[in-house]
Amino acid sequence: MLDNHIQVVEDSINQARNLKSLEELAEALMTNFFTRYPEAEACFQGFDLREVGPLKFCKISDALLDVLKNPDYSQSSVSEEVWRHQIHQVKDKEYYFALSDVFVETIKSTLGDAWSAVHEECWNDTLGGLKHNVTLAAKEHLAAC
């Protein structure tokens, strides 16, 4: 990926973190996720969202940055995450797509007017890379379920 992508994605995450606390961003992420995908609430039954939300926010942030900074590590890390989630009966790769899409929407809405066409391009490319890695992992792990 282009260095510009790394800078834009990393800067926009940092800008969002400067505008809102991790807890606020995590709450927005999970609220937006459950609003768009109410069926996903079943995956989180028994979990304290005040704990899981910030963890999800950080894991998704790291996963997206790894696509750009550490592509080989990103593939293996995503594969391990898909494998680990099978314990929680998450067997649908679209779950990962939806959560990462809502993550970007959360950053975009937090930045508001500061979001630009350059942000859109860099984030779309980065999401594409993450979704590619999820697709590869799903073929490897989820097909066996």
Domain CATH number, residue 127: 1.10.490.10
- Alpha carbons within 13 A on the beta-carbon side of 40: 19
Q: What is the pTM of this model?
A: 0.83
Q: What is the pLDDT of residue 85?
A: 60
Report CA 122 to chain centroid distance, whole Å: 15
41-45, 60-64, 75-79, 103-107: which has the minimum mean pLDDT?
A: 75-79
Answer yes or no: are the C-beta atoms of 130 and 63 closer than 8 Å: yes
All residues at 6 or more sequence positions from 111 whose CB lies less than 8 Å from its CB, including other chains: 12, 15, 16, 19, 119
- Alpha carbons within 13 A on the beta-carbon side of 56: 29
**Per-residue pLDDT tens for 46-99?**
888 889 899 989 989 988 988 888 777 566 676 667 656 666 565 565 677 888
pLDDT at 133 over 50: yes
Q: Which of 124, 132, 145 has the alpha carbon at shortest distance from 78? A: 132
Start-end of H helices in the chain? 3-19, 22-36, 49-69, 71-85, 93-111, 117-141
Q: Please, what is the average pLDDT of the chain?
A: 84
Q: What is the pLDDT of residue 145?
A: 45
The total of structural domains in the chain comes to: 1
Boundaries of domain holding 58: 3-144
